[in-house]
Amino acid sequence: MLTLKQVISSEEKRLMKLQPLGGFPATALLMGHIAAMLFGLAGLVIVVPNGELIANLPPMGQMAFRYSMAGGGIVYMLLGASAVAYYAYQIVGGRRWLTFMVSAVTLSLASELLGTSTGFPFGEYHYLSGLGYKIADLVPFTIPLSWFYVGFSTYLIARVSLEHRSQPSWIKSVSAIALGSLLLTCWDLVLDPAMTQTDVPFWTWEQPGAFFGMPYQNFGGWFITGIVFMGISHLFWGNQPLGLTRQHLTFPLAVYVSNILFGAILSLAAGIWLPVVLSIIFAIIPCCVLYGMTPKMSNSQASSQSHPKDASAVSVAQLQKRGVQ
């Protein structure tokens, strides 16, 4: 038999080992990810529209610009995937990180291959150059990685923010999957116009639609794909609370918001403002609300402060049910 005081102490020690930002490597990779996006924005927004700037560059500068245009998108997505992978490993453990990453990468790749070859579930489109080697000559290898690192961020924010609600576990599970996928889909409100309607497009629609050249079907494809890989990942993760706090969600929030701002700046530079407004209303604000809903302290930390002298006995069975070793 262990006392409640011992349980709380054990839980606090476990949480203390979880560095909110995943440690220095994850933070450094995230900074590199954001810096690469800023560098790409400078090239796409300032340099490309002003051809005289490129013409006036010395030969080495022109060569560097060509390489940056050819590989800039690859670098920023590789850094984003690496940052979230390291963060996930540190925060939720190797098993949860791998099950989510494998599910997200394989299932999103399957959806993308199906979409680029048949038009289902997103509509008829194809990728252009600038995003790396194309799997089956259809889908750049970086695209499934972007599904992973943004999808993990939205799912974790949705799940942790709902864990503390007094609702049946199945309702919280379904809500976390649905909200995570919805936030992921809302990223595309600004991503797609930025990637297809600017001076340097990265994919193009063969089936023009009403939303800045994109068919509304695409949103359904995004949502269903997110539901599937988040749902499968949730089955592997289980319903046991992760025990994370608001501070632990700062990293995924930074990933999500920075990627939306990347698309927003490209859209505004092209004179497209409606997707930016929609992404603020339906993506950034809801995500920040979920972040704000998450308690600053875990249940064990709150209990230790409100009942510091409580020494009630807790059985081993209860400890195992809570996941305390």
Percent with pLDDT over 70 in the chain: 82
> Is it the case that residue 251 has pLDDT exceeding 70?
yes
Range in 3-7, 242-246, 266-270 the model is least confident about? 3-7
> Is it the case that residue 15 has pLDDT exceeding 50?
no
Residue 68 is predicted with a pLDDT of 66
pLDDT class of 284 with cuts at 50, 70, 90: very high
Mean pLDDT of the residues in the chain:
86
Task: Give the model confidence (pLDDT) of 150-166 as tens digits.
Answer: 999 999 999 999 998 99
10 Å CB burial of residue 51 (0-12, 13-18, 19+) is: exposed
Helices (H) and strands (E) in the chain, counts: 13, 6
pLDDT class of 53 with cuts at 50, 70, 90: confident
Contact (CB, 8 A) for 269 and 198:
yes
Radius of gyration of the chain (CA): 22
* Exposure letters 137-153 (e unless 16+ CB within 10 A, then b): ebbbbbbbbbbbbbbbb
> Is it the case that residue 232 has pLDDT exceeding 50?
yes
d(CA 216, CA 210): 7
3-state secondary structure of 161: helix
Regarding predicted confidence, which is higher, 136 or 310? 136
pTM given for the model: 0.86
